[in-house]
């Protein structure tokens, strides 16, 4: 029987690409709010799949969904805490408080709610691997990034703490900090403004979701005596959160 991986935010970008790669070796629990996308993805995956539709901000929905999994799907081996987004890009004095709430509630509290529903089972089984998707934005602030930066700094701190608390239970905790990845991320950040979103990825070759999915696959495929704690993965032309060598 294949081991089980649960991926949050599997309806697009990094999460979706990760589902496609991990389907080779894992049974998958794919999650997100857009049910129709999960249906489509399930139809394309060549592995057994469970779909859970919930908003990671809704603690009750997270708990009910995970508790409601069939008994032979409860022993989750791998958790990919990927769901998240930036909402807005504005100086702190002009920030939209609803955007701030969304980023803190999704990127930090949502990650915690999902983790809280899954970690006790991993502790009982003395087995598991959690990969949190942080960001270069979680080790370097940039102008107008403020609350998104704070949310990813939060993921960075949480990952370190989780690793310490869970090490004695044989649970590995890793973090990947991607740089610029061409996904729906900027469409969400700029609230559907395609022109602004496309500009983020012009003049250089950005990372693709597949690159991060392959990094996840690599981390999970290391032998038991190797724990990849942290990986910063930038685009080829990127030196830092703010420095990209653009052609034009």
Distance of closest approach, residue 24 Cβ to ligand 8X3, in angstroms: 27
Residue 50: which of ligand 8X3, ligand NDP, none does it interact with, CB under 5 to 8 A by kind?
none
Q: Count residues near ligand 8X3 (CB under 6 A).
A: 5
Site for ligand NDP contains 11 (CB under 6 A): yes
Which residue of the chain is nearest ligand 8X3 when measured via CB? Answer: 135
Sheet holding 171-178, edge to edge: 49-53, 27-32, 4-7, 78-81, 128-133, 171-178, 230-233
Minimum CB distance to ligand 8X3 smaller for 50 or for 82: 82
Q: Residue 172 and residue 47: Cα distance in Å, rounded?
A: 24
241 binds, among ligand 8X3, ligand NDP, none (CB under 5 to 8 A by kind): ligand 8X3
Q: Examine the residue annotation and report whether 201 is marked as an active-site residue of this protein.
A: no
Distance in angstroms (rounded) separating the CA atoms of residues 144 and 93: 10
The residue within the footprint of ligand NDP, chosen from 5, 83, 147, 241 (CB under 6 A), is 83
Decide: is 201 part of the binding site for ligand NDP (CB under 6 A): no
Q: Please pick, among 113, 148, 153, 201, the residue that the annotation labels catalytic.
A: 148
In the three-class reduction of DSSP (H, G, I as helix; E, B as strand; rest coil), residue 95 is classed as: coil
Which CB atom, from 122 or from 135, has the smaller least distance to ligand NDP? 135
Among 55, 140, 217, 230, binds ligand NDP (CB under 6 A): 55
Rounded to whole angstroms, how far apart are CA atoms 3 and 87? 34
Measured CA to CA, the distance from residue 10 to residue 231 in angstroms comes to: 21
Give the sign of the dihedral formed by CA 182, CA 54, CA 87, CA 152.
negative
Which residues in the chain belong to E strands, given as ranges?
4-7, 27-32, 49-53, 78-81, 128-133, 171-178, 181-182, 207-208, 230-233
Residue 79 contacts which entry, ligand NDP, ligand 8X3, none (Cβ below 5-8 A, type-dependent): none
- Does residue 88 interact with ligand NDP by CB under 6 A? no
Structure tokens at 133: 């998707």
Q: Are 134 and 152 in contact (CB under 8 A)?
A: yes
Binding mask 179-198 for ligand 8X3 (x = CB under 6 A): -x------------------
Judged by DSSP in three states, 112 sits in helix
In the complex, what is the shortest distance from the CB of residue 67 to ligand NDP, in angstroms, rounded to a whole number? 17
Three-class DSSP category at 174: strand
Does residue 42 interact with ligand NDP by CB under 6 A? no
Question: Under the criterion CB under 6 A, does residue 33 sit at the interface with ligand NDP?
Answer: yes
Q: Give the interface with ligand NDP as residue ranges (CB under 6 A).
A: 8-15, 32-34, 55-57, 82-85, 106, 110, 133, 135, 178, 180-181, 183-185, 188, 209
Active site residues: 148
């Amino acid at each position: 029987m294949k081991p089980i991986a649960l991926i949050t935010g599997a309806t697009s970008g990094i999460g979706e690409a990760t589902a496609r790669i991990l389907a080779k070796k894992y049974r998958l629990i794919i999650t997100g709010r857009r049910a129709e996308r999960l249906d489509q993805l399930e139809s394309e995956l060549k592995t057994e799949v469970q779909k859970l539709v919930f908003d990671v901000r809704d603690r009750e929905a997270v708990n009910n969904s995970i508790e409601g999994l069939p008994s032979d799907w409860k022993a989750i081996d791998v958790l990919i805490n990927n769901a998240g987004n930036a909402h807005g890009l504005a100086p702190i004095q002009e920030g939209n408080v609803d955007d701030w709430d969304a980023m803190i509630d999704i990127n930090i509290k949502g990650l915690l709610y999902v983790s809280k529903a899954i970690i006790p089972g991993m502790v009982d089984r003395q087995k598991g691997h959690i990969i949190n998707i942080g960001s270069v934005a979680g080790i370097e602030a940039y102008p107008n990034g403020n609350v998104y930066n704070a949310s990813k700094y939060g993921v960075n701190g949480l990952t370190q703490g989780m690793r310490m608390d869970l090490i004695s239970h044989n649970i590995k905790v890793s973090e990947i900090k991607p740089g610029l990845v061409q996904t729906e991320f900027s469409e969400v950040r700029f609230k559907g403004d395609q022109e602004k979103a496309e500009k983020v990825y012009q003049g250089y070759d950005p990372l693709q979701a597949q690159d991060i999915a392959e990094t996840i696959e690599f981390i999970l495929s290391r032998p038991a005596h190797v724990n990849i704690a942290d990986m910063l993965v930038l685009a080829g032309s990127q030196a830092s959160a703010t420095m990209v060598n653009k052609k034009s």
